Amino acid sequence: MEERNRAETLSTVATFPRTRQAEASSLPDAGLRSAASQRGESAVPLVVALDGVLVFTNTLIESCLVFARAKPLQLLRLPFWMARGRAWFKRRLAMEAMPDIATLPYNKELLAFLRAEKEAGRRLVLATGADETLAREVAKFHGFFDKVLASDGAVNLTGPRKRDRLVAVFGEKGFDYVGKSGRDRELGMVARRVILVASAATLSKNPGQSRDAGQPVETPALALAAYLHALRPHHWLKNGLVFLPLLATHELYEALRFAHALLAFVVMSLCASAVYLLNDLLDLPDDRRHPYKKYRMLASGRLPVGHALAMVPLLLLVAALASILQPSPFLAITALYVALMVVYCLRLRDLGGLDVLALAVGYGLRVVAGSVAVGIEPLIWLLASCFFLFLGLALLKRYAEMVTIRSFHGSGARVRAYPVADSGMVAICGALSSLLAMLPLAIHLVVQHPLHPRYELAWVVLVLLMYWLIRMWLLAGRGRINGDPLAFALTDRVSRAVGILMAVTALAAT
């Protein structure tokens, strides 16, 4: 199970597993339900950290992401705020933007333990380097914290400052502390007992920190799988559009051009994954409220937001370096694609109509990038067909999301810029666009048929594609498609069969 890689362990007290089953449980082990009363320690306050402990995320980064989505044109103000100090930066950011406190990925096993301690009469304190405004909202949401210690705009309550503040309030050895392994070593010297929340792999490297934690489970392969899953490799199939110019001009089997197309596929996949990560980071609040998207790696907290944020420029840098091996215009086309998708993530996706048009243009740029990479003049009929096809698929995705959301939240809900009540019009526009995609291809086949006798096979491809599109619209209306249509097609047996038939027939036609 991929969640077990992040099993959370409390040293000397209990084990808090990071699993979906744990999220569903109401209480931890029975031995924890009255832990304070069993030890007779209800008079000793229990201090709890926030980031990486009570929540499986970094609230400062999430606040920056909320700010970026709400006010993208003001991002240049952030460095000037930071120049005035981290405490002032956190306070100013909290005044402008704050993550949705209710949907943060909380450590539910830890929450259950804290409730048991509270019921046993123990005093609970939330102590964090986050701004006091945010920390108080978290404490108010849960309702069992007696006191909040946090950064106040002048003092950044981290490291030695946090240690000194706790000693000043509770005295040395006058409190127990729930913190993160490796980050709270200084507090371990002044706290009476430290309860570590850390991965089993981390504790196994420091066995002295967790003598009662049990045998940790090492699963490094699952950690790598989490990162790969966040890159959405199943969506890389869309980047196969870079091969269409070769297929359309019957030059798919030329080794040099195919190699350039293959490199273009790799570059576009890296860029697309960077965009997916950025999109998921900016969409965290919405994903956490979604019935299915809340289980994504970032939304659920299984992948740290800081790691994902660092991966975005890294992927783009590797893509840029690989683009050096391509013709010079290829890098410009790739940069244009990335810029368009960044604007889409920051603003266009919240503007009905413009969002799906931007996605359709993005897919068209993939085809143009493929043409430039292999040195073939862009084919207008091919670009027109791809534009309408992916405009229809973008509208199909919105329609499928509307059907899903309506079943959970009723007809008054929204899917980004689209009220669910608009689902009928979205379906009409999407179906019409899907049919228009066939027109440029059909006209091309009629014109080219006398010159290429085997173009009859291309008509078979056209008919198969039309059948697949009609079927997808029907399934979306029945609520069978819960996400991206192409991702759904990879799991649908009929879609896979149709796709294989189309590929074989298209290759035979060349």
Question: Which domain CATH number covers 179?
Answer: 3.40.50.1000
The predicted structure's pLDDT at residue 13: 39
Please tell me the distance from the alpha carbon of residue 164 to that of residue 135, in angstroms, as a whole number: 19
319/465 same-domain check: yes
The answer for residues whose C-beta is within 8 angstroms of residue 469's C-beta and 6 or more apart is: 392, 434, 435
What's residue 211's pLDDT? 33
pLDDT at 179 over 90: no
* 219 in a structural domain: no
Q: Are residues 294 and 413 in the same domain?
A: yes
Looking at the structure, tell me whether residues 20 and 93 fall in a common domain: yes
Residue 148 included in any domain: yes
For residue 2, give both structure tokens.
């991929």
Radius of gyration of the chain (CA): 27
Q: What pLDDT was estimated at residue 401?
A: 87
Percent of the chain with pLDDT over 90: 48
Based on the fold, state whether residues 201 and 234 are members of the same structural domain: no
Query: What does the block give as tokens for 209?
Result: 């920190």
Q: Please determine, for residue 277, whether its predicted confidence score (pLDDT) is greater than 80.
A: yes
CB 110 within 8 A of CB 8: yes
Q: Which residues pair with 177 in a beta bridge?
A: 47, 194
* Domain final residue, candidates 213, 243, 259: 213
pLDDT exceeds 80 at position 321: yes
What is the helix, strand, coil percentage profile of the chain, to 5?
65, 10, 25
Average pLDDT over residues 348-373: 92
Whether 350 and 358 have beta carbons less than 8 Å apart is answered as no
| Helix, coil or strand: residue 12 | coil
User: What pTM does this model have?
Assistant: 0.79
Q: Strand (E) positions, 11-105?
A: 14-16, 46-48
Determine which helix (DSSP H) or strand (DSSP E) holds 193, and give its type and residue range: strand 193-199
Length of the chain in terms of residues written: 510
- Specify whether 156 is located in the same domain as 238: no
List 414's β-bridge partners, or say none.
419
With respect to residue 220, please indicate whether it lies within any of the assigned structural domains: no
Q: Is the domain of 67 the same as that of 188? A: yes
Is 460 part of any domain? yes
Kindly report which listed range (40-49, 99-108, 452-461) carries the lowest average pLDDT score. 452-461
The boundaries of the domain holding residue 399 are 229-509
Considering only 221-230, 284-293, 410-419, which range has the smallest mean pLDDT? 221-230
> CATH number for the domain including 342?
1.10.600
Same domain flag for 301 and 386: yes
CA distances from 60 to 65, 131, 308, 320, 403 (A): 9, 9, 14, 30, 34
**Cα separations in angstroms, 429 against 389, 396, 397, 466, 473:** 12, 9, 12, 16, 12
Residue after which a domain boundary falls, among 213, 245, 272 = 213
DSSP state of 72: G
Dist. CA 476–CA 488, nearest whole Å: 10
Do 286 and 194 lie in a common domain? no
Position 408 in a domain? yes
Are both 253 and 364 inside the same structural domain?
yes
Q: Cβ atoms within 10 A of the Cβ of 328, count?
A: 9
Does residue 218 fall inside a structural domain? Answer: no
Is 224 among the domain residues?
Answer: no
Whether residue 370 lies inside any domain: the answer is yes
- Assess contact for 90 and 156: CB atoms under 8 A: yes
DSSP symbol at 179: E
Per-residue burial over 119-139, b = 16 or more CB atoms within 10 Å of its CB, e = otherwise: ebebbbbbbbbbbbbbbbbbb
Tell me how many domains the chain contains.
2
CA pair distance 139, 16, nearest whole angstrom = 21
Rounded Cα distance between 46 and 382, Å, is 65
For residue 29, what pLDDT is reported? 42
Is the pLDDT at 438 greater than 50, yes or no?
Answer: yes
Q: Is residue 462 located within the same domain as residue 364?
A: yes
Instruction: Give pLDDT, residue 392.
Output: 94
Answer with the one of 178, 213, 248 that is the final residue of a domain: 213
Residue 318 and residue 344 in one domain: yes
Contact in structure between 403 and 477 (CB atoms under 8 Å): yes
